[in-house]
Structure 1
C-alpha cells in the first residue's frame, strides 16, 4: 500500500502514526520497512482530514504492528495519543520511536500514554547515525512480534491475563538492545520490575501477608498492597496514578466488595503465581493501562470516534460499559445509535443494560429508537416486551415499527408471541370494519 495514494486495504502489517512536522522521517522509515517485505500504511498529509480520520481508524483496527513516531511536536498531539490508545485496545504490537530523548518526551506525553509506554522499550533516533544503527534491530523485532502473533492461539495466550473480555500480556517488552545511552531511555523503564523482586518480595502477595486466611477486609488488603508497592508506584508513575490503582482495584477488580476472599484473589491471578510472585501487581498495572487507554478512546473528540465505538462491543471491560452508557446521552444521534448497539454487546451480561436501552425508546431520533429496539431483540430482553410492543403499535415511523416487530420475533417468548398475536387479530378486525 502506498501512502501517497491515500488508498486503504483491509489489513496492513504496519501502521505509522506521526505529526506532520515529521513527514520526511516517516517516509524514510516507511521505505526502510517496506524493503523488508512488510506492508506499511501512513496517512498522506495532502488528504482531506475527514477522510484521513476514517482511514486511520480502519487501518489501526486492522494492523498487526503500530509504530508511533514521537517527537517534541507529536508527543503533545491529542490525535496521536488517541491513535496510540486505539492501537492498544486493538491488541496491536506497539513500537515507539523517539526523535528526542526519553527525558524530554516523557514530560509531554499524556498521563494514559505515559503509563501505556512505560513498560515498552523504545527505539531512539535523535543523533547522527542512530537510524542506520537501530533500524535493523527494530525491523527484526517487528518480524519476531508478527511471527509470535501468527503462532499464538488468539483465544488463549499463554502467559497472559484474561479478564473482562480482554487479554493482557504479562510482559510485552520488545527485544531491542537498549544498553547504549545513545539509543535507550534516559531512565530505565524496567526499574520498577527490578524493585519488585527485592529481598522479601520473592513469593506470592497473599502468602506474604495473609497465609492461612480464606478472606480479609479490603482495607487490610489495600494497606498490605500499598506497603509493598505504594512507594514504587509513586516513583514510577505519580501519586495520582497510585490513587487510580487503588480505586480500580476496589471498583473493578473486586467489584466494590468490602471483603477479599482467597478464592476471588486466585481467580484474578489465574495460574501465574509460580511464574511471577508479583502477578497481582502486574495484573492491576495492565488493567490500569487498558482502563486509561479505553477512556482515551471513548472520550476522544475526533473523526476516529464513531468507527471506534463500533468495535468496542467485543470488550466487556467496565470502562467500556461506563463510557458507552455516557454516550447514550451524546448530542449526536449517530453516536447514541452506535453506542446503543455496542452497549448491547459489551453489557450483555448486565441487568441494567436493558433499562438503559429501554430509556432510548423515547428518543427524538428515529435511528436511535430503531437501534435500541434491535439491541433489545438481540439480547432477548423479555422484560422489555411491553415497551417494545408500545413502539410497534404507536411509533409514527415505519422503520421503527418494523424494528420493534423484528425484536419481538427474536425474543420468541410466550409474552412476545401473545402480544404479536393480539395485535395482529386487532389489526385484522379493524381492517374488516373499515369501509371498502
Structure 2
C-alpha cells in the first residue's frame, strides 16, 4: 500500500487492511479503545500535544499516532483502526492539516464510521476555510467547532463539556435506532452521526455570533419541512422536480455561497438529491420529500436535511477516491448505511480495479442492502452481486456468494448451484453451498438434493 512517511512529512498515512470475510478476526495489532482520537498535521505537533494534555488532564483517554505507534507495528493500518475504535474524533484544523490528503481521508472515514466529530481550529473560520477543499467544508459543516485562537480557556471548557456529554451518550448506548418506514416498503438508516450533526446545528443556531464563530449565513433558517412545502407549493401532493430544484437552490443560496460551491457543484448535488428523493417522471411527491427530511422519529428542516445529506455524500465519495488512504477501512463500516447514495457507491465499487476493494464492497453491500425490500433497488443490488460470481478472482466470487446468501436472493440459486458444482476452488464451492443453504426454499433444497444424489451415484460407479 505504500511506505510510512517520516515524521517531518505533512501528515501520517492510513493503511487499509484487506478484508475478505464478513466478520474479520481481530488484528494482532488492534488498537485499544480510547475516548478521543486526534487527527492532525505533524507540523502542528506542539498544538496537538497541548490539546492532548488538556484532554487527559480532564480525565479523558486520547489516541494519537505519536504515542500509540511503535516500531515494527503495522501503524498505517492502526491509524484507521484507531478512528473506528475511538469513541469520539477530533480534527485539529490549521492551514497545513486542511490541505493534507491524509487528514481529509481521516475526516471522511470518521464520518462514514458514525463518529461524533469535533473540529478544533487554530485559526479563525475565514482563515482556515479559505484553504479548505469543498469536501472537508461540507463534511465539517454540521459539526461543532471550537476556536483556540482567542480565549483558549473558555473555548476548552466548552469543548470538554460537549465531549463529556457526547461520551455519556455513546457509553449509554443513546443512539437512534433504525426505524422501518411503513407504507414505503423500505427501511431508512438513521445513524448516530445524523443525531450528532443535528446537535451541532442547534449549537450553532443558539451560539452568540462573534469574530471566531461560523458566519450566520451558514445557519439554517429552521423553516420546518412541512412549512417550507406549504409556503412554496401550497397543498399539492406533488410538484415538478425542476420547479422544486430551482426553489430549493434559491432558498439555500446563502449556504451554497458560504462554503464556496460552484454552479457545477450545486448542479451535481441537486442531481444526487433528486435521486435520493425518488423523483420519477420529472415529479417529486410530498411523501418522498418528507421521507428525505425525516431523521429517526423527527422531521427536520429542509436546509438541515440537505446539509446532512450533502456532507454524508461528499464524505462517502471522498473516502473512496482512487487515491484515498482509508478506502478498505471505510468500506468495512458502510454496513450501517442504507441510503441510496451509499448503495450506489458500493455498486460502483464492485467494478473497482482493485479486487480487494470488490471483495469488501460486496460484503458491505450485503449488510447495507439486507434490509431493503424495494423491488427495484434489490434487483439492482442482486444483479451487481451476480456479476461477482463471474470474476476471475476467487475471493471476489466467494464474497459474492456470501453476500447473495445473506440477501436470501432466490434469483441467484441457479448461478450459485453452477459454482457449487463446477468451480475449481474448494472455498468458492463451500461459499456457494453456504449461500444456497441460507437462501433456502423448495428450489434450493431440490437443486441441492439432485446434485447430492448424482454425486452419490457417481461415487458408487467408481467403486464398482
TM-score, normalisation: structure 1: 0.85
In the alignment, what sits opposite 1:206? 229
1:393 paired with 2:393, answer no
1:295–1:319 contact (8 Å) kept in structure 2? no
In the alignment, what sits opposite 1:219? 242
Match of 2:34 among 5, 12, 15: 12
Match of 1:111 among 112, 128, 134: 134
> 38-47 or 77-86, which moves further after superposition?
38-47
- Distance in 1 separating the partners of 2:351 and 2:277: 27
1:245–1:284 contact (8 Å) kept in structure 2? no
Match of 1:71 among 61, 72, 94: 94
1:245–1:285 contact (8 Å) kept in structure 2? no
Matches within 5 A, 1:275-290: 279-290=301-312
- Measured after TM superposition, the shift of residue 10 of structure 1 is 4.3
In the alignment, what sits opposite 2:283? 259
Query: C-alpha deviations, 1:153-196, integer Å up to 9, x for none?
Result: 313499xxx98423423341485977554xx14xx3332437x3
In the alignment, what sits opposite 1:80? 103
TM-score, normalisation: structure 2: 0.80
- Measured after TM superposition, the shift of residue 47 of structure 1 is 4.7
Q: Which structure would you say has the larger RCO, counting Cα contacts within 8 Å and 6 or more residues apart?
A: 2
- Measured after TM superposition, the shift of residue 97 of structure 1 is 1.7
1:321 paired with 2:343, answer yes
- Distance in 2 separating the partners of 1:270 and 1:132: 38
- Measured after TM superposition, the shift of residue 314 of structure 1 is 1.9
Match of 1:94, SS?
strand
2:121–2:146 contact (8 Å) kept in structure 1? yes
1:298–1:320 contact (8 Å) kept in structure 2? no
> 358-367 or 43-52, which moves further after superposition?
43-52
1:54–1:303 contact (8 Å) kept in structure 2? no
CA separation of 1:232/1:39 partners in 2, compared to 1, >3 Å: closer, same or farther? closer
1:11–1:62 contact (8 Å) kept in structure 2? yes
CA separation of 1:400/1:8 partners in 2, compared to 1, >3 Å: closer, same or farther? closer
1:388–1:404 contact (8 Å) kept in structure 2? yes
- Measured after TM superposition, the shift of residue 231 of structure 1 is 5.2
- Distance in 2 separating the partners of 1:271 and 1:79: 30
Match of 2:97, SS?
coil
Matches within 5 A, 1:394-409: 394-409=422-437
The gaps in structure 2 that reach 5 residues or longer are: 1-27, 180-185, 373-377
In the alignment, what sits opposite 1:134? 155
- Measured after TM superposition, the shift of residue 236 of structure 1 is 4.7
Match of 2:174 among 143, 147, 153: 153
- Measured after TM superposition, the shift of residue 227 of structure 1 is 3.7
Larger radius of gyration: 1
Match of 1:293, SS?
helix
Aligned length: 417
In the alignment, what sits opposite 1:425? 453
CA separation of 1:7/1:126 partners in 2, compared to 1, >3 Å: closer, same or farther? farther
- Distance in 1 separating the partners of 2:102 and 2:435: 38
1:189 paired with 2:215, answer yes
